[in-house]
Each structure stands twice: as C-alpha cells, then as structure tokens.
Amino acid sequence: MSDLSVANNTATKAFDVEAIRRDFPILAQEINGKPLVYLDNGASAQKPLAVLDAMDRYYREMHSNVHRGAHTLGDRATAAFEGAREVVRDFLNAPSTKEIIWTRGTTEAINLVANGLAPRLKAGDEILVSHMEHHANIVPWQMLAERTGAKVVPVQVTPEGELDLDSFNSLLTERTRILAVTHVSNVLGTVNPIAPLIEQAKKLGVITLIDGAQAVPHFKPDVQALGCDFYVFSSHKLFGPTGIGVLYGRAQLLEEMPPYQGGGEMIERVSFERTTWNVLPYKFEAGTPAIAEAVGLAAAINYLDGLDRKAMEAAENTLLVRANELIETVPGMEVIGTARHKVPVMSFKIAGLHPSDIGTLLDQQGIAIRTGHHCAMPLMNFYGVPGTARASFAFYNTLEEVEKLFTGLQKIQRLFT
C-alpha cells in the first residue's frame, strides 16, 4: 500500500499540449471516422488518467464508509475523503475545511444556500442576479422569492456581453439582500469583474454568492481575496468526476443557516424529543457522501497544480485569439459575446443555418460542440435568438483543432446556404 493521501502532487510539468493530451485517453479516438475534436468543455470537461487512476485505486484499496472509525478501511476512506476536502480548501484559499461543503454540483450548492437564507428574507427584499446567469443561478432564487415574497431582479448586460455596471449601480439598493452572479458566463465567456461588485455589495450588508462553474476550469479563484460569502462549482467541469461539487461558505453564515437535508451524518444527537445538528461541514452533508468522487476531484486539482498555470492560461488565450481571427473566413458568422475579458468560449450563429444543424454537421466531421439555449433562456431572449452554437475550449485543445472547427464551418456554410 502506498501513501493514502491524495493531497500531494509535486512535479510541475512544463506546458506541452501533445504530452498533456496523452493524459486524456478519451481524446485519442475517432468519431464518425475522424479524429475527435472535443470543443464542448463548457458542458463537461474530460478527465485525465490521474483522476481515473485515483478513483480506481480508491475502490481497489480503500473503499469503506467514512467517519465510522471502527476499522482500517474506514480510516483509509476517511483519510482520502478528508484529504480531498483539504485539497479543495487550498484550491479556493478558503480559511478552513469546515467551510468546504460537498454537494452534488453547482446546482445543488445554490439550492442549499437559497434554502438556508430563507429565514433572512421578507416581502419586498430583493435578490440581485444578472441577465447572463445559468438557470441554476436563477430558478433557486425564484423559488426562494416565491416562498418569502422577495423579488428577483436581473442586472442588464451590454450588447457586447459585459455586465452593465450602470444597471448594477442603480439596482443595488438598501432593498437588496443577496447578490448572486456568475464569475464567468457559460454562453459568452465573459469574465465578470466580481471583486468590485462584491465590495460594493458588502458595504450595504448584502450577502454574496459567486457561481464559479465556468471560472474554475480556467483559473484559480481566491475566496479570501474576493471577499464573497459563498463560492460554488462542479467537479465535472474541472476535469473531475460527475456527481460532486463544492460549496464554499463563510463559517459564520453556515453556522446560522438551517440544514438543507436531514439524515445520517448531519446530526449530533437524535431523539424523538429533540435532534441537534453536527458541526460544520457535516451539518450540510446528510447521508453517505460521494467518497470516490471527492478523491477524483482532488486528483483533478492536483493534476492542474502540476501544470504551469501561466503557460496554460496563455495557451488558452492563443486558442481564443486564433478563433477570433478565423471568424471572417465563415460568411454570415456572428459571435455573441465579445467582452474585453473572456475565457476561450465562443457562442455564434451563422446566417441561414439553425444551430442544431451546425452541431449535427460538425459531429459528422468528428467535432463536438454544444447547441441550444445553454440553460440561459433570459440571455437568449436578450439577444433575440432561440439558441446558439457554442465551442468551448480547454487547455488540452490545439490550434490545429481550432482550425478544423473553422474548416468544418466553412464546409457547412458552403453546402447549406
């Protein structure tokens, strides 16, 4: 048995995209007789061998239920599971592991917070979101508003796809209780200037939640530097397994919030007269958790820590720059979302073509993109489109793949318009 800890990975690899691609076995296959070009990373990213191996090893050598302490396997599973929590704490630069709650993903994390904040809201209070939110950062707040009489108020976006700061300034008022905004838009790729927004909100005592689902695959957030109350993300977009996500919450707020679900693990004592809650973070983790998935997520973060972050961000930016250069080679192509600060995500339409046809025809060439409303119907309405085609890049994509996308689009455009 080797070291049980999943918290250590020291070797820093230089940024060599071909070597990196060998770490992702799924990429080396053909789809419809063509080499796979995977450009649907915004929906879910692929997993490196380090993640597959860590989960396999966990099941082969360590699996048992956690926090039971009666035998050696239980201790191993608990060490791996709590070690993973420490990896996430370090990733977010959170002050304490008691502020790291495992959830099923971003969606569950936001629902947990919305539920927990219900006792603080009353009729007339406002929850500020933005027009570019994913439904996961709209609907839970609408459900909360329904329960409490509060109102969900959307901050406008500009035609370029940036948050409209005048709209933000006029809508952030003494009625605002919660600010829930995305760090990075899943449709537009816009990186929002969340630090100053949080700072302004805090001055009015507003509770802040940041949806980091699309940010963490591209850069490391620092929750202490940001000063947010809650930060949420999903493992599967961060090159980790599905079925697990993270809620970072400030301890004081988490202490004050009621539990989300009841059951085993989240209690201190149960009797028919009175039940009391476990300490943080367990108060919010009812039932047997996703243990192997936590181990897998930690392995993904450790893998990323082994890469040169600056080189990775530069390589991603090169992909976006090349994609932008090639837009004019496809007649009738229009990009939606041209913010100054973007991650490599490109939503677009092509005159005369339905987005879903673009997706199907690209798939025939081995190229995977996403089409549709991207769970952002209010944003689609704002742009007056039923949906878009979206190519979302990861650090393992190559310039050659960007070029293949555009060659593919040129072909489709020639054939069908």
Ligand X SMILES: Cc1ncc(COP(=O)(O)O)c(C=O)c1O
Measured from the CB atom, the residue of 98 and 370 that comes closer to ligand X is 370
**355-363 and 399-416 helices, crossing angle to 10°:** 120
The nearest distance, CB 265 to ligand X, in angstroms, is 22
Nearest distance in Å: CB 211, ligand X = 5
| Residues 4 and 86 sit within 8 Å (Cβ to Cβ) | no
Residue carrying structure tokens 């599971």: 81
In whole angstroms, give the CA distance from residue 395 to residue 20: 9
Nearest CB to ligand X, comparing residues 322 and 374: 374
Specify the DSSP element, H or E, that contains 349.
Answer: strand 345-350
Residue with tokens 């239920």: 65
SS3 label, residue 124: coil
User: Which among 201, 375, 391, 412 is annotated as catalytic?
Assistant: 375
Provide the token pair at 370. 């996403």
Question: Toward ligand X, which CB reaches closer, 333 or 369?
Answer: 369
Binding site for ligand X (CB under 6 A): 105-107, 134, 136-137, 182, 186, 211, 213-214, 234
Give the whole-angstrom CA distance, residue 340 versus residue 319.
15
Burial of 108 (0-12, 13-18, 19+ CB in 10 A): buried
92: helix, coil or strand? Answer: helix
Of 44 and 407, nearer to ligand X (C-beta) is 44
Residue 124 C-alpha from the chain's centroid:
31
Given the complex with ligand X, which of 106 and 413 has the nearer CB atom?
Answer: 106
Q: Terminus-to-terminus CA distance in the chain, angstroms?
A: 61
For the bound state, the minimum distance from the C-beta of residue 28 to ligand X, rounded and expressed in Å, comes to 26
Report d(CA 353, CA 346) in Å as an integer: 17
**Residue nearer to ligand X on the CB measure, 395 or 406:** 395
Task: Kindly tell me the sign of the dihedral angle through the C-alpha atoms of 19, 20, 25, 31.
Answer: negative
> What 3-state DSSP class applies to 228?
coil
Q: Is the dihedral of CA 399, 400, 401, 404 positive or negative?
A: positive
Least separation in angstroms between residue 159's CB and ligand X is 20
| Smallest separation, CB 137 to ligand X (Å) | 6
Least gap, CB of 40 to ligand X (angstroms): 11
| Residue 136 vs 155, nearer CB to ligand X | 136
Q: Are the CB atoms for 85 and 281 separated by under 8 Å?
A: yes
CB 324 within 8 Å of CB 30: no
Least gap, CB of 113 to ligand X (angstroms): 13
Which of 137/413 has CB closer to ligand X?
Answer: 137
* Residue 184 per-residue DSSP state: B
Cβ–Cβ under 8 Å, residues 367 and 39: yes
Q: Residue 172 in contact with residue 156, Cβ under 8 Å? A: no
Cα–Cα nearest to 94, from 185, 212, 218, 197: 212
Residue 228 annotated as catalytic: no
Nearest alpha carbon to residue 260 among 282, 284, 240, 288: 284
The answer to whether 129 and 137 are in contact (CB under 8 A) is: yes
| Residues catalogued as catalytic | 375
